Chain A
Amino acid sequence: MLVGSNITFRVGSKELISDISASFAPGGLHLLVGPNGAGKSTLVKVLARLLRPQTGTVEYEGVDVSQTSEAELAKRRAVLSQAIEIAFPLTVREVVMMGRYPHFSGRPGPTDEQIVDEVMEHFDVTEFKDRYYQSLSGGERQRVNFARVLAQLWSHSAVDSCRYLFLDEPLTFLDIRHQIDFMKRIRSFTKDADVVTVGVVHDLNLAARFADQILMLNGGRIVAHGTPAEVLTTERITHVFGVEPTMVQTTDAGIHLIFN
């Protein structure tokens, strides 16, 4: 369980997020939505402990995470961001292996090698393993990054502690097919009972389709937190985003939003 309490984060005199409290249970996909500047990305970075809030605490399994060392944290917390820029010739396998860095010092062991192979297989990037990351397309690169992040969190043994996956707008630069493919993979990963997954996406339809819980932010504050049906109401969306949606309900896949 990931719990954030009374989090405020300021840059200079501007408060990016104000007094936010929320908890995120494992086993489901939590998505943050909101207009530009709402503080979604900042909140994710605070929860992932990249940023330190001026006030408030972040707890992983009841432990205040500000006391944990970087190295320790890296073993069970991973962040998938937008596509990264690499200026050096790294092969796909080398990039994925970086996910295992928190788990070994010196050279990778056979476990690490095996995990990397498995994870590349899982994301269909094994065929690329000796190609340079720079030579891949956007969609292929994100699959590689996802593989890396997963390698960081991969656990063979019986689960000893909860793991935390954060997604900071990972769908940017991906086309629609890859976006949906991605969300499906994330969904299947998060079904694992011991992973807390918190992500930021822009597309409300994707959020509606794939999220178990939605946290809507506006102006650095929580506007609503609940299931998609609870949160995504016409009035709320109109008020927060400034556009009026038409809601369409389908039997299998839930809510769809159509904007004029």
Chain B
Amino acid sequence: MTAPRRQLLLIALVAVTLLVLVASIRYGAIDFSIAEISRALASLLPGRPEPTLDQRIFLELRFPRAILCLLVGASLGVGGTLMQALFRNPIVEPGLVGTSSGAAFGSALFFVLGGVFHIGASLWSLPIAACAGGIISTYLVFLLARSREDGRASIVMLLLTGLAVNALFMSAIGFLSYIARDPQARSITFWSLGTLSGANWKSVEIVALTTILGSIVALRYAKQLNALMIGEEEATYLGVNVNRLKWIILSVNVVIVAVATAFTGVISFVGLVVPHILRMLGGADNRFLIVGSALTGATLLTLADLIARLSVRPAELPIGIVTSAVGVPVFIFLLRRRQYVF
């Protein structure tokens, strides 16, 4: 696909994302019409009457949730692209490789220890704890899976190590649920299946910061990631400092995924499916992929959240169920295509 066609595709993706955003803010347990939405927004202006309950639901629950959903979807999509570029294998994503469960563990540990040591939950301490957990788990997998001379992790080793690390951290979370007094830490369903029900503007601020900054940094290194696709040695010959690149991208990757996970629990398969769709549509150039997967991830997760909120309303499905229901068949389909170098 040529560059101009790719740009057109990206513009189309932006349009789709906006459409889906509108649907997300309109529909749910309560449906809002466009007029009601405008009134709710208008109530923020000075001199207007206080917002009604429904308007407050929109402004304080629905709207931040929709935005958070976009941001988390974007960060998971970009996380998937970066991880695949880093491990030079298209069948990896943060959920499979332990980043999400490590981040969830960091968060759960924070709640437990926070209760014990009475650590004040400052706005940033939770995301930082999540990042610490995510870094440990990802690094563990990275380290254990590098079995080949050219430094490229064999995909079998990656998936197996990821499996093991996932199991390790999820059982650690189980243990924390066991000993925890804090009700948040006790809710293991929250961590393992993910939900956006806790969205508020504070969390939107933090996730927006990490997602946008992280994506910008990633874009700056996109060309170097492209070079990495043909091999570490080859990339070095093309002038890339491979070690430095790996550390930077790994850090960005972990941060954006971990922070999102701290607020929503583990949501799997988005990072796996999104880059694949994009590669099928527009090729493997990382500049295109990073922007595209941010948009596509945002769209897909918003659709998943819509399903989670509408299918059993007024109750809600945990969003991880929806993403797994779609993601697992796709994963199996991809495995069977046998186009991958194992």
Contacts and interface: CB of A to CB of B under 8 A. Distances in A.
Interface of A: 48, 50, 70-75, 77-79, 81, 84-91, 94-95, 98-99, 101-102, 105-106, 134, 152
A88 B279 CA distance: 9
Shortest beta-carbon contacts, A-B, top 9: A74-B239, A88-B284, A71-B239, A102-B239, A79-B237, A70-B239, A87-B341, A84-B231, A101-B238
Interface string B239-252: 11100000000000
B234 interface: yes
Contacts of A85: 231, 341
Which residue, of A48, A75, A101, has the highest number of chain B Cβ atoms within 10 A?
A: A101
A94 B286 CA distance: 12
A84 B341 CA distance: 12
B233 interface: yes
A61 B12 CA distance: 52
A70 B89 contact: no
Given A70-B236, A89-B279, A94-B283, A101 B227 contact: yes
Contacts of B227: 98, 101
A50 B89 contact: no
A50 B233 contact: yes
B90 interface: yes
Contacts of B240: 70
B271 to A, nearest CB: 16
Q: In terms of DSSP, what is the predominant structure of the interface of chain B? A: loop
B90 A88 contact: yes
Contacts of B332: none
Interface residues of B, number: 24
A74 B279 contact: no
Contacts of B284: 88-90, 94
Interface in B38-82: none
B226 interface: yes
10 contacts: A70-B239, A70-B240, A79-B233, A81-B234, A86-B229, A87-B229, A88-B90, A101-B226, A102-B239, A106-B223
B285 interface: yes
A95 B223 CA distance: 12
Nearest to A45: B233
A87 B89 CA distance: 6
A50 B230 contact: no
Nearest to B84: A88
Nearest to B232: A50
A134 to B, nearest CB: 8
B238 A152 contact: yes
B223 A105 contact: yes
A138 B269 CA distance: 35
Contacts of B238: 74, 98-99, 101-102, 152
B27 interface: no
A219 B285 CA distance: 43
Contacts of A50: 233, 236-237
Given A87-B90, A87-B341, A70 B229 contact: no
A165 B238 CA distance: 13
B247 to A, nearest CB: 15
A78 B237 contact: yes
A162 B27 CA distance: 66
B178 interface: no
Contacts of A101: 223, 226-227, 238-239
A3 B226 CA distance: 32
Which residue, of B90, B227, B230, B284, has the highest number of chain A Cβ atoms within 10 A?
A: B230
Contacts of B90: 87-88
A88 B91 CA distance: 11
A106 B283 CA distance: 18
B26 interface: no
A54 B240 CA distance: 22
Contacts of B231: 81, 84-85
